[in-house]
Amino acid sequence: MPIKVQSNLPAIKILESENIFVMPEERAMAQDIRPLKIVILNLMPTKIVTETQLLRLLGNSPLQVDIELLQMATHKSKNTSRRHLTTFYKTFDEIRDQRFDGMIITGAPVELMDFEEVDYWDELCEIMDWSRTNVYSTMHICWGAQAGLYYHYGVRKFEFIEKLSGVFEHRILNPLHPLLRGFDETFRLPHSRYTGVVESDILKRPNLEILAAGKKAGVSIVGRKNGREFYILGHAEYDRDTLAEEYSRDINKGLDVHIPDNYFPDDDPSKTPKLVWRSYASLLFSNWLNYYVYQQTPYDLEDLKKLYE
């Protein structure tokens, strides 16, 4: 799939080197089709890395996607230059009158804070409320998933005894669900978090369904039964070395963290981790794009408000 982005976005060179088709705005405008409109609310501190990871996965389908990057106006990023943000990102006020086929809300390293203590919480709540009438299907990732479950359904997070870090096996609980079409009965997914949600709390919400869970990772993929919201508590988008970089960062900070589970060969951080989740990540995103963004979204996005439940 060609991904339509601004012509000088840093991710373009990396993706083109991987033979992923990235279409500049000039060429996309010459095509007589309506591309899918996807907005990515990027809450991660390393924004360029996260942009590249997500665009790589969104590029794995035959559909043309028009990407809009969104930042929080009420938060000052410490790890991404102001020039990058002003060049490639918009604020909510700039897009609030638009409609989108899909939306992605990323994770953020604020898990150990109460939701209401996060400096951009009120703005995020406004965006999540807006998404129900202005976006057909929204994918929430990691902390973004916990935030969405809490805001929309009152599902509270709980803190683990120690950080959940590593690549974990999961079992599919609904093998016929389109989001998981093509998956094996079990699959692997990276996790990197200090908090999670309780299965019984999800089961109490009749609009929600647990789609995948792991013995150690617990609830990992949750979906709203109408396909309008998905909550991915892991990080399917992570690169081969992302967990290694996070582990090294934590060690350098003097944190008491264990080696990521099932990640380094022989649990040796000097050895290169095996990339064993990329195919599942690609399926997850291409299934979401195909079955819940492309096939179900009305052609005229102005009709989205009529579909609000």
pLDDT 10s digits, 85-139: 888 899 999 999 999 999 999 999 999 999 999 999 999 999 999 999 999 999 9
Residue 60 has phi, psi (to 5 degrees) of -100, 50
Tokens 């900070």 locate to: 253
Tokens at 84, concatenated: 């990058």
Reported as a pLDDT band with limits 50, 70 and 90, residue 295 is: confident
Q: Tell me: the pLDDT tens digits for 178-203?
A: 999 999 999 999 999 999 999 999 99
- Average pLDDT on 144-160 reads 97
> Can you name the residues that pair with 67 across neighbouring β-strands?
38
Predicted confidence at residue 1, as pLDDT, reads 45
Residue 237 has pLDDT above 70, yes or no: yes
Predicted confidence at residue 28, as pLDDT, reads 46
Burial letters for 35-51: b for 16+ Cβ neighbours within 10 Å, e otherwise? bbbbbbbbbbebbbbbb
Predicted confidence at residue 296, as pLDDT, reads 76
- 8 A C-beta contact, residue 167 and residue 190: yes
From 140, 170, 177, 235, active-site residue: 235
Residue 290 has pLDDT above 50, yes or no: yes
From 51, 111, 229, 237, active-site residue: 237
What pairing do the DSSP bridges indicate for beta strands 208-214 and 157-172? antiparallel
Q: Tell me: the pLDDT tens digits for 251-267?
A: 999 988 899 999 999 99
> Can you name the residues that pair with 23 across neighbouring β-strands?
4
pTM: 0.88
Classify 140 as helix, strand or coil.
strand
> Can you name the residues that pair with 40 across neighbouring β-strands?
69, 104
Classify 101 as helix, strand or coil.
strand
- Mark whether 142 is an active-site residue: yes
From 111, 142, 152, 177, active-site residue: 142
Residue 24 has pLDDT above 60, yes or no: no
What share of the chain has pLDDT > 90, as a percent? Answer: 73
Distance CA 36, CA 3 (A): 10
- Average pLDDT on 67-88 reads 85
